[in-house]
Structure 1
Amino acid sequence: MSAVEDRLAELGLSVPEVAAPVAAYVPVVQDGDLVYTSGQLPVVDGKLGATGKVGAEVSPEDAAKLAQTCALNAIAAVKSQVGDLDKVSRVVKVVGFVASDPSFTGQPAVINGASELLAKAFCDAGAHARSAVGVAALPMDAPVEVEITVSVR
């Protein structure tokens, strides 16, 4: 097990199997030293953790937990490509999408769920650039979606 997986285990988490794509794409692609994940939904055991809009059917606090699940699924996609998560030298970029009620403006706090997990898992290498974007809808009525780009050695 990698040091990254050990840190996740200390949080009571483990790297899941890679979630199956819901359309015509692959979960992860590597180009040189960069590994790009497709957008990851908050899927656990093949099911979404929740559905609906944040600020309406889903609370911001629950959405942040779902964003953490998305990040864990992104970590799984990276592991499926590189094998050993200790090969990750940096989390470069995180892009988070939040299906938002029109009056909801707390997207950054929601995506902190993903960012904070990545910081705990990868320590200093987990510090990253980020975008947190509110959108009208996401696939399968998911409340959040997260994609990451990492650099590997």
Structure 2
Amino acid sequence: MYESKNLIPPLPPTPQPAGNYVPVREVGGLLYTAGHTSAVQGTLEHRGRVGEDLTVEEGRSAAAIAVLNCLASLAAHAGGLEHIGEIVSMTGYVSAGSGFTDHPLVMDGASEVLVSYFGDQGRPVRAAVGVSSLPDGAPVEISLLATSRSA
């Protein structure tokens, strides 16, 4: 579980797709990731709805793990994170309990990881969207748009 705001966490093993899709698609020098959850080696670290089953802090941890999974997929596709230029955009879906409104606080867990890896080049534009459910009971799902340095 990712908890530190000051350390660069190691990348997890590259997640395997949970369906008939590719984890990363490159088009015109842009790298699009599929949605990634907080699964670690196929098992969700957290399950449930933020604000109902999970605290904001647990949601932030799930967001950090999910974005690390995105970065692992980007690194595998590009041949390492040194081939990633910047993080352009992040879309984060938060499975939220009724009345929950702190979606941006949850997604800050992912933003902090991106900044720890890329500095200001990791500070994306982003959307934090509340939803009623996500695959396998995941509390967070994240997708990224990044630039390739090889383009």
- Separation in structure 2 between the aligned mates of residue 54 and residue 124 of structure 1, nearest angstrom: 28
Matched with 1:91 is: 87
Amino acid at match of 2:78: V
2:112 to 116, 121, 128: 116
Task: Give the 3-state SS of the residue equivalent to 2:147 in structure 1.
Answer: strand
Return the alpha-carbon distance in structure 1 between the equivalents of residues 12 and 50 of structure 2: 25
The aligned amino acid for 1:45 is Q
Which residue of 2 is the match for residue 132 of structure 1? 128
Aligned residues: 144
Corresponding position of 1:47: 43
Aligned residue in 1 for 2:22: 26
Other structure's SS at 1:111 match:
helix
2:13 aligned with 1:17: yes
Q: Measure the CA separation in 2 of the matches of 1:65 and 1:50.
A: 9
Match of 1:145 in 2: 141
How far is the alpha carbon of 1:54 from its aligned partner? Answer: 0.5
Query: What amino acid is aligned across from residue 53 of structure 2 in structure 1?
Result: E
**2-structure distance, mates of 1:45, 1:33:** 29
Instruction: For 1:100, give the aligned amino acid.
Output: A
| C-alpha deviation, 1:86, in angstroms | 1.4
Residue from 76, 80, 85 that aligns with 1:80: 76
In the TM superposition, what is the alpha-carbon distance from 1:11 to its structure 2 partner?
A: 2.1
Query: Alpha-carbon deviation of 1:45?
Result: 2.2
Deviations 1:79-134 (A, max 9, x none): 01101211211100000000000110100000000011101111121121100000
Name the SS for the 2:18 alignment partner: coil
TM-score if structure 2 supplies the norm length? Answer: 0.91
SS in 1 for 2:53: coil
Post-superposition shift, 1:28?
0.9
In structure 2, the gaps of 5 or more residues are 1-5
* Matched-pair identity in %: 36
Q: Is the 8 A contact 2:8 2:117 kept in 1?
A: no
Cα deviations by residue, 1:35-65 (Å, 9 ceiling, x for unpaired): 0110000011220011111101111111101
Other structure's SS at 2:75 match: helix
| Secondary structure of 1:23 counterpart | coil
Give the Å deviation of 1:32: 2.0
CA shift at 1:12, angstroms?
5.8
- The letter of the residue matching 1:124 is D
Q: Runs of 4+ in structure 1 displaced over 3 angstroms? A: none
